[in-house]
Amino acid sequence: MNKLYLFTILILFFSFSNAQPINPNDSANTSPGNINMVFYNLATRAQTIPSDTDWHIAVSVRATNFPYHPLGGTTIRINEAIGVNAYVAPNIDTSGFTTLDTIGWRNWWHLHDADTSIDEGALNSNRNHSDLFNYGWGEYNETTHNVVGDSVFLIQLPSGEIKKMIVIALVWDTTFYIKYSNLDNSNLQFIHISKGVNDNNDKEFMYLDLYDSTVHDKEPASNAWDLQFLKYAAVDTLGVPDGTMPVSGIWVNEGDSVAKATGVDVTSNSYAGLRFSGNLNTIGWNWKPLVDTTGMVQDSLAYFIKTIPGDIYKLVLTGYNDSTGVFSFYQTLVAAAPTGISTVEASAQVSLYPNPANDMVNIICPASVSSKYEIMDITGNILIRGNVTNEPLQINTSRLAAGIYIVNIIDNENVSTRKLVIGH
């Protein structure tokens, strides 16, 4: 272990304490080794607890709105936390699947899932960001309305076994057709994953086991959970070589948003002035040490979570134990959704035009003296921000590359979100 890494661990260690002036009222048990994941509903406290070790590829079964929200329905993630690795073969399309030369494969582009956006899977991460219709594993055809595979991947399984894989196509946003085999072309498998088995697209992913070609349905409905407790691959954690490290932590449902309050009295329910973020890992893992069995957590830290209906809950992490996989926490409702104009109705008053845009986009919203806007990319990086000073608000987008962006309109603690496509 190098000195810088050890020093960073020590800094994290001394910033945590067993002292926590609030008692837990619930817990989530991922079991020793985090072999399970827990989907948790803040309102009902209901939990769904599927296995997290019997899958290697997660395939989106969400509906896609081409071309306005392409990644949502084309996402393909890997179970990197249990040792799955993905590489893309350079300069080879799907026609080279059978004759693929794997000499030097360890030097190929090593792909990773994003931990800030659920949409950015490992097999999407090599996409051409300047091509609106390229999604990493394939290209959208405007004539057939299919996404046709154009890349060959190597998937290294936790056992060390390697499969080569292509996504043949996503046909009419209804069914993924996937082919994979051993490197010598033996044990060839053709898998289809239908979005129709997803009860009208009310879930996020189906999960594929490459050992036995089983497709698992693991999740509750998307609107039935808020938090996911799990082991995941955190990106760029403590300068780890190759960019990821398995950690135990918490993701937030993409329909919810989270505000982080540090240096606060955790018994307070005030979230005034906090900015809510839709990033997947806003809670994440680093409210605790990287490795610990004593249950230490960071002092004076609370999270406020705005759910899809508009209710706001406070979450205070009170402990985590590596040996048991148990997360302990306190959660409570601090603000119910307003009974006048609902959060959904208020959000509906925000519109963008033109969309797709080129050099300029107009934003129409019910602005107040405190309204602000921000435009960020799908990894959560804020690229443009400012105050909402007039209506419509005109924003110069000429310096943004072609692609998908998120526009947030922030008015006090309320955030309205829209997706923006830049075409150029």
> Tens digits of per-residue pLDDT, 177-201?
999 999 999 999 999 999 875 444 5
Cβ neighbourhood burial of 26 (10 Å; 0-12, 13-18, 19+): middle
* pLDDT of residue 164 exceeding 90: yes
- Measured between its terminal Cα atoms, the distance across the chain in Å is 47
* Architecture of the domain whose range is 343-422: Sandwich (2.60)
Surface-to-core class of residue 22, CB atoms within 10 Å of its CB (0-12 exposed, 13-18 middle, 19+ buried): middle
d(C-alpha 324, C-alpha 3), whole Å: 29
Distances (CA, A) of 39 to 67, 113, 115, 261, 364: 30, 20, 17, 23, 36
Q: Are 136 and 123 in contact (CB under 8 A)?
A: yes
Sign of CA dihedral 179, 182, 186, 187: negative
Given the structure tokens 């610990």, which residue do they identify? 292
The pair phi, psi for residue 344, each rounded to 5°, is -65, -45
d(CA 351, CA 422) in angstroms, rounded, equals 15
pTM for the model: 0.77
Answer yes or no: is pLDDT of 411 > 80. Answer: no
pLDDT tens-digit series, residues 386-409: 887 666 788 888 888 887 788 888
Residue 243 binned pLDDT confidence (cut-offs 50, 70, 90): confident
* pLDDT at 372 (0 to 100): 81
pLDDT at 423: 76
Look at residue 93 in the predicted model and tell me its pLDDT.
95
- Give pLDDT, residue 310: 85
Please provide residue 356's backbone torsions phi and psi, each rounded to the nearest 5 degrees. -70, 150
pLDDT of 2 reads 47
What is the pLDDT confidence band of residue 14, given thresholds at 50, 70 and 90?
A: very low
Distance CA(28)–CA(329), nearest Å, equals 8
- Ordered alpha helix ranges (H), 118-269: none
- What is the per-residue pLDDT for 386? 83
Provide the residue type at 351 as one letter.
S
pLDDT tens for each residue of 81-90 = 999 999 999 9
Q: With bands split at pLDDT 50, 70 and 90, how would you rate the model's confidence at 383? A: confident
Residues of the chain with CATH 2.60.40.3080: 343-422
State mean pLDDT over 261-290. 92
Work out the percent of the chain whose per-residue pLDDT is above 90. Answer: 55
Say which residues have a Cβ less than 8 Å from residue 276's Cβ, sequence separation at least 6: 257, 258, 259, 304, 306, 410, 413, 415
